A and B are shown apart, each in its own frame.
Chain A
Amino acid sequence: MPGMPDSAAVALEQTWQDHWARLLALLVGRFRRLDLAEDALAEAFAAAVRTWPADGTPDSPAAWLLTVARRRALDQLRSEAIAFRREPLMVVDARARQAAATAVDDGGHIPDERLRMLFTCCHPALSPDARAALSLRFVNGLTVSEIARLFLVQESTMAARLTRAKKKIAAAGIPFTVPAPDRLAERLKVVSAVVYLVFTSGYAPTTGDDLLRTSSAVEAIRLARVLDALLPNQPVVLALLSLMTLQHSRRDARVSADGRLVLLPDQDRRRWHAEEIRAGLDLLRQVPADASGLAREYLLQGRIASEHAVAARSADTGWRRIADLYAELEALTGSPVVRLARAVAVMEADGPDAGLILLDGLDERLPRHHRLPAVRAEFLVRAGRTAEAGVSFELAIELCGNEAERDHLRKRAAEITRIPPVTPKG
């Protein structure tokens, strides 16, 4: 912030980092309107920029901001009440809004506004895209342009999506509460899926040149930590946090110095974050072994990630165990993507022919998916069927939307033409 004394600027930045999301949640708790709370808090921060350098940083910056924001919100409500008399058609659902403003706090069994905010943002009546965007905005405190960048859309598109979602929350009567205990498990699944969607949107972008947008993974892990801190010992949250922690521990090794994708067997394992792996394994042990449903899915994926994480060298990987874990995961989800991953594990454990059998029938279920021909190509290379592998690589390159991955495929296709075909022994 130009022109501000350093101490005031630092204090303001720190207050934003530490308190923005909590203050916003408190204001929504009080006024039940996201737009009003958001604007009032923005004005309070603007007031701080103006007054803190001259008057000094208040003893309790967060309380100062909350007081100012509350006053702004009340001013706004008063001016809306006046406008309401002049332009009755402009104000929607005024009575409901008034009722909401005085409603009793029925999320009391877990007293944290941020948790309520997260459940509101992840309400099943909102579209999955909107849930993720709202959570990043109102729980993580990202700006609209930061969220737009994470989702690879124009800022105006993301702003419109958020505006629509905020209107839906207000007009549809989506409550600002933590769900009742009998509905908590079901709603936690929705929240967890949103968190994982945010994580994977950064982990494996399918378009664009930026191979690993690690910051959305960081934000997803932050979201899960908030959730775990506020609602401890939930199997689905523990399993998800463990899975993400283990996968994220490999981030530095996944891209080479010149920006190329590095596959698991070729990664420099010294660049994995050992501390994070330990934390991930520790979380994994806290997940009950009989976890079911989505918690079981994350648990199985976490166990798979842990098998990779504990192998000192690629050759030490427990492929047999990984293949078994994938088999259970496939039975649970019926997902063709899981089948593809299982085929890789089976190929490593039992050889290329066993792997190729598992790829049968996947073409119809994963049309235009570049990983399928890429995986088939690698299996064919192992089986010594170089010419067929070349054809599969070509198809994969054609379908792949990510520049770094396409480069990797081209490199592999060029390599195999230099390898003489394997001649069967005997």
Chain B
Amino acid sequence: MKIAVLLYQDESVWANATEAEVAQYMADHDAFSEAASHRGKIVAGEALASVSTATTVRRRGDQVSLTDGPFAETTEQLGGFYVLEVHDLDVAVDLVKLLPEYTVELRPITEY
């Protein structure tokens, strides 16, 4: 099954990270990728630019409105994601434990 791994964190944590912390983050992501390749595979994965760069587009009928910023203000922001191909939820949970201290939402991907 495919599961989206949505990574949430207060953006200031990453913005204020020291060089050593950045190196640790990278190492954790590498460990995650390595383990994921053994127990399934990573279908996609990207880091997102800050929410301050976000644009929200809403269409209601013919009306399209653009607003600056994310669609919801939250204390933790979506900062990146992976899409995993794994056997089940437990495998995904095991893998996610290797990532840095994020709040992670696991969402199965629906296939039509």
Question: Contact residues of A with B, CB < 8 Å?
Answer: 88-89, 91-96, 99-100, 103, 123, 125, 171-175, 177, 179, 183
Q: Is the pair B108, A171 in contact by a Cβ cutoff of 8 Å?
A: yes
Tell me the minimal C-beta distance from A160 to chain B in angstroms: 21
Tell me the minimal C-beta distance from A34 to chain B in angstroms: 15
Q: List 14 A-B contacts (CB under 8 A).
A: A91-B112, A94-B111, A96-B108, A99-B1, A171-B108, A172-B89, A172-B108, A173-B1, A173-B3, A173-B92, A173-B108, A175-B88, A175-B90, A177-B90
In residues 25-49 of chain B, which contact A (Cβ within 8 Å)?
none
Q: Which residue of B lies closest to A94 (CB)?
A: B111
Q: Is the pair B111, A173 in contact by a Cβ cutoff of 8 Å?
A: no
CA distance A99 to B13 in the complex (A): 40
Contact with A along B64-99 (1 / 0, CB 8 A): 000000000000000000000011111011000000
Tell me the minimal C-beta distance from B9 to chain A in angstroms: 21
Tell me the minimal C-beta distance from A185 to chain B in angstroms: 15
Identify 20 new A-B residue pairs, CB closer than 8 A, beyond the known A96-B1, A100-B1: A89-B112, A93-B1, A93-B110, A94-B111, A96-B111, A99-B1, A171-B108, A171-B110, A172-B106, A172-B108, A173-B1, A173-B3, A173-B87, A173-B89, A174-B88, A174-B90, A175-B87, A175-B90, A177-B90, A179-B90
Residues of A within 8 A of B92 (CB): 173
Residues of A within 8 A of B112 (CB): 88-89, 91
Residues of A within 8 A of B93 (CB): 125
Residues of B within 8 A of A89 (CB): 112
CA distance A174 to B1 in the complex (A): 11
Residues of A within 8 A of B89 (CB): 123, 125, 172-175
Residues of A within 8 A of B88 (CB): 173-175, 177
Q: Which residue of A lies closest to B107 (CB)?
A: A172
Q: Which residue of B lies closest to A95 (CB)?
A: B111
Number of interface residues of B (CB under 8 A): 15
Residues of B within 8 A of A125 (CB): 89, 93
Q: Is the pair A103, B110 in contact by a Cβ cutoff of 8 Å?
A: no
Q: Which residue of B lies closest to A180 (CB)?
A: B90
CA distance A96 to B85 in the complex (A): 10
Question: Contact residues of B with A, CB < 8 Å?
Answer: 1-3, 86-90, 92-93, 106, 108, 110-112
Q: Which residue of A lies closest to B3 (CB)?
A: A173
Tell me the minimal C-beta distance from B14 to chain A in angstroms: 27
Q: Which residue of A lies closest to B92 (CB)?
A: A173
Tell me the minimal C-beta distance from B102 to chain A in angstroms: 17
Residues of B within 8 A of A177 (CB): 88, 90
CA distance A108 to B3 in the complex (A): 25
Residues of B within 8 A of A173 (CB): 1, 3, 86-89, 92, 108
CA distance A174 to B92 in the complex (A): 10
Tell me the minimal C-beta distance from B110 to chain A in angstroms: 6
Residues of A within 8 A of B86 (CB): 173
CA distance A217 to B70 in the complex (A): 50
Residues of A within 8 A of B106 (CB): 172
Tell me the minimal C-beta distance from B39 to chain A in angstroms: 12
Q: Which residue of B lies closest to A175 (CB)?
A: B88
Residues of A within 8 A of B1 (CB): 93, 96, 99-100, 173
Q: Which residue of B lies closest to A187 (CB)?
A: B90
Residues of B within 8 A of A103 (CB): 87
Q: Which residue of B lies closest to A104 (CB)?
A: B87
Residues of B within 8 A of A171 (CB): 108, 110
CA distance A123 to B93 in the complex (A): 12
Tell me the minimal C-beta distance from B81 to chain A in angstroms: 17
Select which of A92, A174, A175, A179 is within 8 A of B110 by beta carbon.
A92
Tell me the minimal C-beta distance from B107 to chain A in angstroms: 9
Q: Is the pair A93, B87 in contact by a Cβ cutoff of 8 Å?
A: no
CA distance A113 to B87 in the complex (A): 19
Select which of A93, A123, A179, A183 is within 8 A of B108 by beta carbon.
A93
Residues of A within 8 A of B3 (CB): 173
CA distance A93 to B1 in the complex (A): 8
Residues of A within 8 A of B87 (CB): 99, 103, 173, 175
Residues of B within 8 A of A91 (CB): 112
Tell me the minimal C-beta distance from B67 to chain A in angstroms: 31
Residues of B within 8 A of A92 (CB): 110-111
Residues of B within 8 A of A123 (CB): 89
CA distance A407 to B87 in the complex (A): 56
CA distance A169 to B106 in the complex (A): 13
Tell me the minimal C-beta distance from B69 to chain A in angstroms: 31
Tell me the minimal C-beta distance from B108 to chain A in angstroms: 5
